[in-house]
């Protein structure tokens, strides 16, 4: 049997896999991988005497899994010892077999993939053996001695290594594996001739090898001992001097070598991982030159002049190379030998040609180029040179088949600068890719064509110009463009300090919403100036498809610019407010005053053509997608500053150290959990394994049974015990009553948190990093909100920053915060999206300022009423200042006097005198009566204390309002609100990136950071919110707690360029990376969103995910009206003879599924389902557009069907939910990207009550990754089953199949007939609905008009009140001046 399996594998290898360069064979590998050839056959039958074909087959299948972003190592676990033997076999492949270059490439790619999986212990243990200190035994001792320096610990380690090597009889293969592989690589790369044809497989092998070298140098564990071997081999120098590097076939190879040189010389201490500053790097370079000078002076008497030369002589390659011409070949060898660059023992491995030795010596001492300086000089706006550079921005068809000269985001980074630089490069390129797509789309739609312009009267001949025959909503013709101001350069710079321009456009052809979009362009928005020179006359055929897209559409130049201000036809500057744009702008002509990129302008001056005199098109982009410039500026600012994270977060952020180090050690402490626990019994139930003690409000210890009756709020004391255990002591406390009015009663939490939720909340109360994994429907937002509430009450001096990926998530958090006991004056929401909040209150800067101004008037009215209740007739409520004087002169003395007298009377235990002594009874006459019951002194005293707190808070608030009197501008008032008053500030990650420099300049501070949707946020976008405040270098960062809440089992951040996803891992979130590193997480383990049956479609992806009790409620027990099953996979065959189609690459559509999905939606609406309860989802953008088209065609004749809550893609719908989801899978030829289990989880978890999936059953049923989900669909028929005679809402219980009138729908045609018959039955109902909807629309229009008028009236009233206040203040100031003058006289 074993022999039969081996023969089968050998046959497969010879027939299907061995010639991997052919596209058909790549397809075969993909099919084998999808069919689980690795898991079920190759690894299952692997033994240590397996054949070459068997071994290479495993390598290829593992590589294919990495290409498809599928877990490759899962099947190897459980056989770790065999994996070690297998890995050793992989290493010995080169020695045991004669490999082709295609096979060598697969071998190297396998090693690349293993070294990118260091989070897996099984893999890590094998990989790190290759980069041990034994590599130094192949390095010149001179270099080793310099590397060790004075490090005593390293010296001892090195001596032990040498001693153990001498004692060992057999040299393990892994000790010198890398050294031998590099020497073999030199043989390959130097075998390329100057002109002979180069094997493409050889080039791919060289590129992959260079890629692997970069990976080894860019992670500290692999770099630590490898870098010295790599540098001593002269890898970059030898490869740069090879023929391959000089030929066109070696362009990518050359780019990879440049990256290698950068990482070889990176500013980091390889042993400690400490980042080296500029001074240390310069000192290191000078020390090397000093050693060189010493060698020259000692060993070359005739070169003393060179020995005494300046540092610049050695650092400038041309100068130093010129000096080396005076050396003979033997002298060069001697010099190289003394420098450790050459040894007689390794003569064969260190070629001794003059040029190579010179190159090695020159490169060793040349000055390090500052990458930061290059970044600072780089233009932030992409130009045509970058946009259509396929080497920098790979096309959308990249499938992982080749290396790319791009940085990677993997587990670890060398330093913060390395982290920022990689993210800067990738974010810049990803932005450029999106801009390129937008520019191409807009120019195509404008349909540029050549046109011959006849001879002019001046006698000039015919000229060819560009005319635009089309139209695009994102582009307009430029009427005029001119440079208006070029400011002189700053001291020490060559670029202008400012370049201003003016672009003129005409909006006459823009109507309705399109015009509003153009009018909404505001200050700091980015627009693009484009020169288009048409390539074809009208009617001519398009260019060959092999012609670049840029040449096809005729784009000559692209330049970015930011808007400074906009001017209308009459010269009025249009402000950013909506009212100003729509009502006060005149005419159609708009002048956009722009700021150009100064660095790019200086470069353009060197062009032969005047670039800025050729622009003929202005293109805008959607505002949500056009923030790239601000983000790049923020990253660049961070690169130029010292990025400081808390000590407990620094190492783990870079990917090193103990994964538990982010969670600080818990100290004995008492924390206020307020209303987190609903009762004492809730606390006991959620701590089943903890050692507990209980106390009453007076501090007396009580029994567990008595504790069950305790009510919140609670404080919990944590006491550390031995064996890392803790004792928890529960203590209730009597909160102060903040006033006698009903609205003073604190709002309380009503969520009965689960054990896992409470573990997350408790962890978040302690300082350090907390990671919460929240599967769909497990209450992530409730956990986040309770953490925020607890911080707010427990740490009144600390400020909280809330960050989310989307405005929707931010609004959900805010809406829940408003229902807890948090004073709204301490809440602030920054950025757009405020209008979607389901509240009439405005939490934006503008809204909060208005609230405080209105609140000030209310408070002053209360002060006036308080004064009158005490018989004080002076105008004490004139301003906040007079109110404060009133507090100090009258109220505070009365309170103190009352307390003194009560202390005296309390000794006599008198209840009767309390009401008589209380001085503010009259003021509280409007409170619920009786104010004091006169039954219990303690009860009445608490009520009185509450009244005093109410009065005290009144003046505390007025003190806060005083700043709004003194600060006159809205800008100053809003900044005061942000930096001083607001204790809870919320924003999206985009807003944080855009406004970082502004926030720091204002002195924004915060102590606690909570980040929701963290697994959907790009690495750099998650990093920036941690650095929104200035750091005190002595005291360190103020940040105390970081809480990341997300789900790495759902979709990652959106990255549109496939190469940046697959090769560079730009879509890896910080949250996911921390999980890979092994940072402890708390997984929420109970979902309450979906029916239990629907949850089983995805809960297998999580550990012990169960259902909350609410899923047993009546809503979840009822069947879906008109449908037999609550979820079903509906098999859709070819429609009109077609399955999936692709009108353009990757734009997949399936008309049969689109028709079926829309038909089911119409059926559900016809039997009464609310439109907003249904969402239509698909896995591809092409299908989304097709469904929308079909939907309009089928339902556009009536308003009855309405619109579903969303028609969108699965990716776009992440984080949202609907009662019923109709899902189209589109593909019929290949599974496509649903094979990514994260997308599957999102798709299956959006529905609460019903999920109906439309696709090709035979295709998806055979996909291994989907098995756990699609096996459950198998329990239901794969044809849609309807139940006739039912209307929404259903009264039938789920699973009740008695007396059902079932209809099994065979195909979409039958479904269409069913809908037609239903429509006929309710035709009159549809007509009445349309008539009523028209009336409702008119009513809604009038309501909106009235609302707008009311808002305008409110603004006018506020303006009037503010003017009156300013007049009062001015009057007081004048009176004060007169009194001072009279006093002086």
Say whether pLDDT at 535 is over 90: no
Do residues 1149 and 1184 lie in contact, with contact meaning Cβ atoms separated by under 8 Å?
Answer: no
> What distance in Å separates the CA atoms of residue 174 and residue 135, rounded to the nearest whole number?
9
pLDDT on residue 866: 93
pLDDT at residue number 1023: 94
pLDDT at 347: 47
Considering all CA atoms of the chain, what is the largest pairwise distance in Å, rounded to the nearest integer? 119
Q: Report the candidate in 424, 425, 415 with the shortest Cα–Cα distance to residue 223.
A: 415
Q: Name the E strands within 459-554.
A: 463-468, 475-477, 480-489, 496-506, 526-532
Does the pLDDT value for residue 577 go beyond 60? no
Kindly state the tokens that stand for 1294: 């789920």
Residue 716's pLDDT band (cuts 50, 70, 90)? very high
Mean pLDDT (whole number) for 110-138? 94
**pLDDT at position 768, please?**
92
d(CA 268, CA 288): 16
The Cα–Cα gap between 1084 and 776 comes to: 10
Considering only CA atoms, which of 1027, 979, 1054 is closest in space to residue 1215? 1054
Contact 545, 581 (CB under 8 A): no
C-alpha 1223/C-alpha 1128 separation (Å) is 10
Work out the average pLDDT over 398-403: 85
pLDDT tens digits for 55-75? Answer: 999 999 999 989 888 889 989
Owner of token pair 């008492």: 670
**Separation between Cα atoms, residue 1224 and residue 386, nearest integer Å:** 37
Flag whether pLDDT at 547 surpasses 80: no
The model's confidence at residue 1364, banded by pLDDT at 50, 70 and 90, is low
Contact 641, 689 (CB under 8 A): no
Cis peptide before 184 (omega within 30 of 0): no
Token readout for 961 is 């309002």
pLDDT band at 546 (very low <50, low <70, confident <90, very high): low
Percent of the chain exceeding pLDDT 70 equals 91
Q: Residue 1354: how many CB atoms within 10 A of its CB?
A: 12
What does the pLDDT read at residue 580? 46
Per-residue pLDDT band for 32 (boundaries 50, 70, 90) equals confident
| Predicted pLDDT of residue 3 | 55
Residue with more model confidence, 351 or 341: 341
Non-local CB neighbours of 801 within 8 Å, separated by 6+ positions: 985, 986, 987, 1006, 1008, 1009, 1010, 1025, 1028
DSSP β-bridge partners for residue 448: 468
Least confident of 37-41, 528-532, 1060-1064, 1213-1217: 37-41
CA distances from 104 to 188, 215, 553, 1184 (A): 11, 18, 41, 43
C-alpha 355: how far from chain center: 49
What percentage of the chain reaches a pLDDT higher than 90? 52
Give the pLDDT of residue 576: 61
Q: Which residue has the tokens 């039969």?
A: 4
Residue 658 has pLDDT above 80, yes or no: yes
What pLDDT digit, counting tens, does each position of 744-780 carry? 888 889 999 999 999 999 999 999 999 999 999 999 9
Beta carbons of 245 and 239 less than 8 angstroms apart: yes
State yes or no: pLDDT of 53 exceeds 50: yes
pLDDT of the residue at 1370: 66
pLDDT in the model for residue 1265: 82
Q: Kindly calculate the radius of gyration of the chain based on its CA atoms and give it in whole angstroms.
A: 37
Kindly state the average pLDDT of the residues 724-743: 87
690-694 average pLDDT score? 91
pLDDT level of residue 345 (50, 70, 90 thresholds): low
Mean pLDDT, rounded, for 1182-1191: 95
Question: 698 and 766 in contact (C-beta within 8 Å)?
Answer: no
Is residue 788 over pLDDT 90? yes
pLDDT tens readout for residues 1044-1084: 999 999 999 989 998 999 999 999 999 999 999 999 999 99
Residue, of 512 and 710, whose pLDDT is higher: 710
Q: How far apart are CA 1276 and CA 1278, in angstroms?
A: 6
Q: Do 676 and 790 meet the contact criterion of CB atoms below 8 Å apart?
A: yes
- 417 φ, ψ to 5°? -65, -45
Q: Cite the DSSP H helix spans in 218-353.
A: 220-232, 235-240, 243-246, 251-264, 278-299, 304-307, 311-315, 317-324, 329-338
pLDDT digits (tens, 9 = 90+) for 1129-1172: 999 999 999 999 998 878 899 999 999 999 999 999 999 999 99
Which residues pair with residue 562 across a beta bridge? 526, 595
pLDDT score at 352: 57
Rounded CA-CA distance 635/630 in Å is 9
* Residue 827, Cβ density class (10 Å: 0-12 exposed, 13-18 middle, ≥19 buried): buried
Tell me which residue of 629, 611, 617 sits closest to 483, measured CA to CA: 611
pLDDT of the residue at 679: 94
Distance CA 635, CA 638 (A): 5
- Taking the C-alpha atoms of residue 848 and residue 854, their distance in angstroms, rounded to an integer, is 10
Mean pLDDT for 131-157 is 91
Q: Is the pLDDT of residue 110 over 60?
A: yes
The strand pair at 1127-1131 and 1247-1255 is best described as parallel
**N-to-C CA span, the chain:** 119
Q: 1231 pairs with which residues across the strands?
A: none
Cα(68)–Cα(1354) distance, rounded to whole angstroms?
58
pLDDT-derived band at 115 (thresholds 50, 70, 90) equals: very high
- Burial (0-12, 13-18, 19+ Cβ within 10 Å), 1316: exposed
Residue 132 has a pLDDT of 94
pLDDT band at 458 (very low <50, low <70, confident <90, very high): very low
State residue 1072 phi and psi, 5-degree precision: -65, -40
Q: How far is CA 1085 from the centre of its chain?
A: 24
Nearest CA-CA partner of 1012 in 820, 827, 783: 783
Task: Catalogue the long-range contacts made by 481-488 (C-beta closer than 8 Å, 24 or more residues apart).
Answer: 481/529, 481/612, 481/613, 481/615, 483/596, 483/612, 484/593, 486/601
Distances (CA, A) of 89 to 102, 174, 1010: 18, 11, 48
Average pLDDT across the chain, whole number: 87
How many whole angstroms separate alpha carbon 1044 and alpha carbon 654? 17
Structure tokens at 861: 């009215």
Cα torsion angle, 429, 434, 435, 440, sign: positive
Q: Is 343 exposed, middle or buried (0-12, 13-18, 19+ CB in 10 A)?
A: middle
Question: Burial level of 317, CB count in 10 A (0-12/13-18/19+)?
Answer: middle
What does the DSSP assignment read for 896-915?
A: HHHHHHHHHHHTTT-SHHHH
Task: Tell me the pLDDT band of 1340, cut-offs 50, 70 and 90.
Answer: low
Per the listing, tokens 């929308």 go with: 1188
d(CA 513, CA 517): 6
Cβ proximity of 1021 and 989 under 8 Å: yes
Q: What is the separation of C-alpha 713 from the centre of its chain, rounded to a whole number of angstroms?
A: 37
């Amino acid at each position: 049997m074993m022999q039969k399996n081996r023969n089968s594998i050998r046959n497969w290898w010879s027939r299907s896999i061995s010639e991997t360069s052919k596209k058909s064979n790549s397809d075969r590998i993909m099919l084998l991988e999808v069919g689980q050839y690795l898991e079920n056959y190759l690894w299952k039958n692997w033994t240590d005497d397996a054949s070459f074909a068997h071994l290479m087959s495993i390598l290829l299948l593992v590589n294919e899994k990495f290409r498809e972003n599928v877990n490759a190592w899962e099947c190897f676990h459980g056989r770790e010892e065999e994996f070690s033997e297998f890995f050793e076999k992989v290493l010995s492949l080169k020695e045991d077999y004669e490999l082709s270059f295609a096979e060598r490439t697969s071998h190297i790619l396998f090693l690349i993939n293993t070294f990118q999986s260091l989070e897996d212990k099984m893999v890590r243990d094998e990989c790190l053996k290759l980069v041990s200190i034994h590599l130094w035994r192949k390095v010149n001792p001179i270099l080793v001695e310099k590397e060790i320096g004075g490090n005593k610990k390293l010296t001892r380690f090195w001596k032990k290594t040498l001693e153990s090597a001498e004692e060992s009889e057999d040299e393990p293969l892994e000790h010198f594996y890398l050294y031998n592989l590099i020497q073999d690589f030199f043989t390959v790369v130097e075998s390329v001739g100057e002109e002979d044809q180069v094997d493409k497989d050889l080039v791919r092998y060289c590129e992959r090898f260079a890629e692997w070298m970069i990976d080894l140098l860019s992670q500290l564990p692999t770099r630590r001992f490898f870098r010295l071997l790599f540098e001593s081999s002269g890898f970059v120098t030898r490869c740069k001097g090879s023929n391959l590097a000089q030929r066109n076939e070696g362009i990518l190879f050359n780019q990879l070598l440049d990256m290698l040189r950068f990482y070889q010389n990176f500013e980091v201490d390889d042993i400690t991982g400490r980042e080296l500053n500029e001074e240390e790097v310069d000192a290191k370079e000078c020390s090397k030159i000093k050693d060189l000078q010493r060698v020259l002076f000692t060993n070359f008497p005739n070169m003393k002049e060179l020995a005494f030369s300046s540092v610049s002589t050695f650092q400038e390659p041309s100068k130093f190379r010129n000096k080396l011409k005076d050396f003979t070949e033997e002298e060069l060898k001697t010099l190289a030998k003394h420098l450790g660059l050459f040894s007689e023992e390794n003569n064969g491995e260190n070629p001794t040609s003059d040029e190579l030795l010179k190159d090695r010596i020159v490169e060793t001492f040349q000055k390090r180029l500052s990458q930061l300086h290059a970044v600072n000089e780089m233009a932030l706006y992409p130009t045509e040179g970058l946009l259509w550079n396929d080497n920098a921005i790979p096309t959308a068809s990249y499938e992982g088949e080749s290396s790319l000269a791009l940085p990677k985001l993997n587990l670890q980074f060398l330093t913060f600068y390395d982290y920022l630089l990689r993210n800067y490069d990738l974010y810049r390129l990803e932005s450029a890719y999106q801009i390129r797509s937008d520019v191409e789309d807009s120019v195509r739609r404008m349909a540029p064509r050549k046109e011959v312009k006849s001879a002019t009267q001046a006698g000039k001949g015919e000229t060819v110009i560009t005319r635009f025959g089309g139209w695009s909503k994102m582009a307009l013709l430029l009427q005029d463009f001119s440079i208006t101001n070029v400011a002189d350069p700053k001291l020490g710079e060559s670029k202008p300090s400012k370049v201003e321009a003016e672009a003129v456009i005409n909006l006459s052809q823009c109507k309705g919403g399109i015009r509003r979009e153009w009018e909404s362009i505001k200050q700091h928005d980015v627009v693009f100036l484009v020169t288009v020179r048409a390539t074809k006359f009208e009617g001519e055929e398009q260019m060959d498809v092999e012609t670049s897209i840029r040449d096809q559409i005729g784009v000559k130049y692209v330049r970015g610019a930011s808007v400074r201000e906009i001017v209308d036809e009459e010269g009025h500057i249009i402000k950013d407010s909506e009212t100003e744009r729509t009502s006060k702008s005149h005419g159609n002509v708009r002048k956009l005053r722009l700021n150009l990129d100064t660095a790019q302008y200086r470069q353009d001056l060197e062009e032969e053509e005047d670039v800025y005199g050729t622009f003929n098109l202005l293109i805008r982009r959607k505002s949500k997608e056009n923030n790239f410039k601000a983000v790049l500026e923020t990253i660049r600012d961070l690169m130029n500053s010292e990025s400081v994270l808390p000590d407990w977060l620094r190492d783990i952020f870079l990917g090193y150290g103990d994964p538990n180090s982010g969670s600080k050690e818990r100290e004995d402490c008492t924390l206020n959990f307020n209303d987190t626990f609903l009762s004492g019994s809730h606390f006991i139930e959620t701590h089943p394994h903890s050692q507990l003690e209980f106390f009453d409000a007076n501090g007396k210890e009580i029994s567990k049974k008595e504790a069950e009756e305790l009510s919140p709020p609670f404080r919990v004391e944590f006491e550390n015990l031995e064996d890392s255990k803790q004792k928890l002591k529960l203590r209730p406390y009597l909160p102060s009553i903040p006033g006698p009015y009903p609205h003073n009663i604190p709002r309380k939490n009503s969520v009965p948190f689960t054990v896992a939720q409470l573990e997350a909340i408790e962890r978040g109360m302690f300082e350090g990093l907390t990671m919460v994994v929240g599967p769909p429907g497990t209450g992530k937002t409730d956990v986040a909100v309770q953490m925020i509430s607890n911080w707010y009450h427990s740490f009144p001096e600390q400020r909280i920053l809330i960050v989310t990926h989307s405005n929707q998530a931010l609004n959900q958090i805010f809406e829940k915060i408003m229902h807890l006991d948090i004073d709204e004056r301490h809440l602030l929401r920054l950025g757009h999206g405020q209008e979607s909040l389901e509240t009439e209150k405005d939490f934006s800067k503008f809204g909060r300022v208005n609230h405080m101004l209105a609140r000030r008037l209310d408070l002053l009215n209360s002060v006036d009423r308080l004064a009158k209740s005490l018989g004080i007739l002076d105008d004490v409520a004139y301003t906040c200042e007079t109110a404060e004087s009133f507090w100090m002169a009258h109220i505070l003395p009365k309170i103190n006097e009352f307390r003194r007298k009560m202390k005296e009377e309390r000794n006599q235990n008198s209840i009767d005198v309390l009401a008589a002594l209380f001085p503010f009874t009259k003021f509280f006459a409007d409170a619920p009566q009786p104010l004091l019951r006169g039954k219990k002194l303690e009860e009445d005293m608490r009520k009185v204390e509450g009244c005093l707190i109410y009065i005290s808070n009144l003046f505390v608030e007025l003190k806060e309002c005083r700043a709004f009197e003194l600060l006159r501008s809205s800008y100053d008032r809003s900044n005061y609100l942000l930096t001083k008053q607001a204790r809870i500030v919320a924003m999206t990650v985009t807003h944080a990136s855009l406004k970082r420099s502004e926030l720091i300049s204002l002195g924004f501070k915060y102590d606690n950071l909570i980040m929701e949707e963290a697994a959907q946020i790009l690495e750099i976008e998650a990093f920036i919110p941690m650095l929104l405040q200035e750091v005190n270098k002595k005291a360190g960062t103020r940040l105390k707690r970081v809480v990341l809440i997300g789900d790495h089992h759902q979709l990652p951040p959106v990255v549109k360029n496939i190469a940046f996803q697959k090769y560079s891992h730009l879509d890896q979130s910080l949250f996911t990376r921390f999980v890979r590193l092994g940072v402890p997480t708390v997984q929420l383990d109970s979902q309450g969103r979906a029916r239990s049956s629907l949850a089983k479609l995805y809960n297998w992806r999580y550990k012990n995910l169960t259902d909350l009790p609410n899923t047993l409620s009546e809503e979840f027990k009822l069947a879906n009206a008109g449908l037999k099953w609550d979820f079903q996979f509906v098999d859709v065959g070819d429609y009109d003879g077609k399955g999936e189609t692709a009108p353009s690459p990757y734009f997949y559509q399936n008309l049969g599924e689109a028709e079926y999905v829309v038909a089911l939606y119409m059926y559900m609406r016809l039997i009464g389902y609310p439109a907003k309860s249904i969402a239509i989802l698909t896995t591809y953008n092409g299908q989304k557009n097709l469904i929308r088209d079909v939907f309009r065609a089928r339902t556009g004749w009536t308003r009855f069907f309405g619109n579903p809550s969303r028609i969108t893609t699965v990716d776009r719908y992440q984080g949202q939910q609907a009662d019923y989801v109709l899902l189209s899978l589109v593909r019929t030829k290949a599974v496509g990207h649903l094979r990514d289990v994260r997308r599957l989880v999102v798709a299956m978890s959006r529905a609460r009550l019903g999920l109906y999936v439309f696709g090709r059953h035979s295709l998806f049923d055979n996909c291994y990754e989907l098995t756990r989900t699609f096996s459950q669909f198998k329990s239901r028929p794969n044809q849609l089953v309807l139940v006739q005679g039912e209307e929404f809402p259903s009264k039938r219980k789920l699973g009740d199949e008695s007396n059902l009138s079932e209809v099994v729908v065979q195909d979409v045609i039958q479904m269409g007939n069913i809908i037609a018959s239903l429509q006929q039955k309710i035709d009159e109902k549809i007509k009445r609905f349309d008539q009523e909807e028209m009336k409702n629309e008119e009513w809604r229009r009038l309501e909106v008009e009235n609302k707008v008028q009311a808002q305008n009236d409110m603004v006018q009233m506020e303006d009037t009140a503010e003017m009156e206040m300013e007049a009062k203040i001015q009057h007081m100031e004048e009176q004060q001046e007169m009194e001072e003058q009279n006093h002086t006289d």
